[in-house]
Structure 1
């Protein structure tokens, strides 16, 4: 498509403006990203942005990094092309005209120069100029959303794994949730907790699922409606979900990195509060702890610390690259697992995705460490299912994986 466009521009210089106008009209009708069949297993996917002045960066998508788009010479077209597996599912947005902090962007192709290191401040500058793709109407949130959550575009190729997408069920009523504030004496802070409960037949007991980063799972992915549909279809037994949010973005990494203080909050404050306030009885043999990224790391740690409270664990893309000390090999979580003795058997569903490899080309990445953690758990007597999806570090994959995990544990039981 772009090669043909370049040919037209090169051979019809007097019609340059009209050719570009016609191109963007076609893009608007087709929608983006542009997806073309490449071979039996792969597609060509082309991300497009119109009209940046200096630079465009792809946030998310089929990559383990923020990829730079290339400008088609003498046009307002910025593009990034990838060849990806037909099973890919993911989300993305763009960072448009990034500010040049500390001179990093003044260098020629800085991302190709191994002597240059992008500072954390420069890398996080993408958040300041983040934009969604105006040619892709498939977004997590409405354009007028005021939740403060980061919106992204969604894309799934033809062989992407199936899942219940609440947006595809407009006639299903949105379930109502109870909302609370939990004050912690141990942590000296407060957090929002939202509680969902599905319908149940008489005398049916409930699964209890506890989600870290609860606001994202509740409001970004609309997990309550998805659970309602799964229960109604008979794919899951009755379930109550507890959505636990951090006090703020600054406290989140402090809390969700394994530590004694948050563990005390979990066992001495959060779980007793849930047992008291959950609408149905909480059964220790039917309680699931779920989290993604740092939430996945924390879920694994807290489950091992509290096997009498948590029976099932779902670390989604857990940050198992974490080390408490440089001597924690091959990673911090493996050391914790190996230090445990006589641990009661728990049920685990661990995931990592194909684009979650390390940007530093070392072994401490989510993709490399997750199967090691899974093997360590299995070797110490736990029931473990490990699964890798074609995707990146994205809620797009996690919404599939969490449904797969719950069905793996509880379907037809």
Structure 2
């Protein structure tokens, strides 16, 4: 008799192993269970049919309802709902210790609903396929699925040129100001990367299944003007992150289906960059030669610095009709002199600006770098380099019979040069009344690239915060593609700091990335703003 009572007690206890009485029901995927808590400490148990690694989503509705996940040993393994709010969502991944069940509890008399929204088996857990935004590639995908090949497609690309630019039937639909640009490569074995991507990074192209087509699409403003290279089968090896990133240079080359490139005369397929201009790209009026206009002169000198202990080229440009004694004269000082002379084409731009009456007669001093290593050491906020500019270069410029008031003197540079321009504006406002930065590297802090991420960035911006206000005007120019490098957000931050300090700041974002190709088209706007204003003020 005693044994029978013990057995009955054990059976009763097992039925309420966790708390209270339990009622067993089966809840299947996509189904809903309705119930109510009839008595104190009552627990409803809902059995689940799951396999290991199943992804489960659902919800419980009802005030103060508590929901537990219980394993095959009748142990609570996870609280899915804590009794907060009238509707609580849950999700979990099934483990190895099934069969699992849901345990529902709450206030006496409370009605509730448990919905098992879905159960996704492990075999069905895969990333969604990226939809093809390009209508041309969607049509081609169907053609391939029906047994066709890519020969007609590539023949068409050979005729019309790449990249592919589309404005209709794009998915999802484009804004009225956007176009879809798709970069293409034929026949790589392992990978293709895009050097100069609109994302600002070295993006991977995807392969269209069952074909020799590699592609990557971007939604960009119709005003975009882009230079780029494509790198097929970039080597992958055991190296640092920087070494692996730079390996793109081993195969980067011009787009073989794009006839537009710079320079126009190249020595091999790896030389230069491919160019694409979208339909609404601004007319390059200031970079277009006009044989009917007078041209300025350029002379190259060698200048030795006692402060820096080196010698460099200085390209000295004077606009046509430049008169040394004119009080209207302006001076523009640039870094990276060879690049501003040959890639940005400063003399051509200034010839056009002066002829159009946009700026006064101007002398440009283009400072070259003794070496790439010296550039990296001298341009980023270097006190000795600032002394060289103020105490050696500018007196030498005056000796060449070139003079201008500080209000008509501009210091301009790009990248590290843009950083140096803003540094010179802070250190020597008595010389430079105007600063133009093109994609300035304002992320910089002492230690440079090696210290990036390990020290507080934006060193120069912090100097401006504590420095007294000076009578200097600023033109900050940066590309919309320059987010990964931090140049875009850091330039915006400097703009905000300068404006808060009370500086006169003109800020411009161009559609593009980091390179002299882009800076060529934005230089004129900055110079017109800084020197055109001073010219108009005198009239």
Q: Which ranges of structure 2 fall in alignment gaps of 5 or more residues?
A: 1-135, 168-173, 448-452
8 Å contact kept, 1:328–1:335? no
Q: Using CA pairs under 8 Å that are at least 6 residues apart, name the structure with larger relative contact order, 1 or 2.
A: 1
Distance 1:241 1:201, change over 3 A: closer
Deviation at 1:348, TM superposition (A): 0.4
Distance 1:201 1:334, change over 3 A: closer
TM-score by length of 1: 0.84
- The reply to whether residue 75 of structure 1 matches residue 211 of structure 2 is yes
- The reply to whether residue 9 of structure 1 matches residue 144 of structure 2 is yes
Deviation at 1:328, TM superposition (A): 8.1
State how 1:120-199 maps to structure 2 within 5 Å. 120-144=242-266, 151-164=272-285, 166-167=287-288, 169=290, 176-199=297-320
In 1, Cα distance between equivalents of 2:392 and 2:267: 33
In 1, Cα distance between equivalents of 2:190 and 2:294: 45
Q: Which ranges of structure 1 fall in alignment gaps of 5 or more residues?
A: 104-117, 360-364
Which of 350, 354, 374 aligns to 2:476? It is 350
Secondary structure of 1:131's counterpart equals coil
- The reply to whether residue 31 of structure 1 matches residue 177 of structure 2 is no
In 2, Cα distance between equivalents of 1:401 and 1:57: 27
Show the counterpart of 1:90: 226
State how 1:171-320 maps to structure 2 within 5 Å. 176-200=297-321, 203=326, 205-277=328-400, 280-320=402-442
Show the counterpart of 1:107: none
In 1, Cα distance between equivalents of 2:333 and 2:320: 18
Distance 1:196 1:145, change over 3 A: farther
RMSD: 2.7
Show the counterpart of 1:108: none
Secondary structure of 1:288's counterpart equals strand
> Which stretch of the first structure deviates more once superposed, 222-231 or 154-163?
154-163
Show the counterpart of 2:184: 48
Deviation at 1:5, TM superposition (A): 2.2
- The reply to whether residue 381 of structure 1 matches residue 502 of structure 2 is yes
In 2, Cα distance between equivalents of 1:230 and 1:313: 19
Name the structure where helix makes up a greater proportion of residues. Answer: 1
Deviations 1:31-72 (A, max 9, x none): 222111133121100112233333221111311211111223
Deviations 1:285-339 (A, max 9, x none): 2111111111111110112101111111011111111223899867212211123
In 2, Cα distance between equivalents of 1:120 and 1:227: 38
**Structure number with bigger Rg:** 2
Show the counterpart of 2:103: none
Instruction: State the number of aligned residues.
Output: 385
Distance 1:189 1:233, change over 3 A: same
Name the structure where strand makes up a greater proportion of residues. Answer: 2
Secondary structure of 2:261's counterpart equals coil
Show the counterpart of 2:463: 336
Secondary structure of 1:199's counterpart equals coil
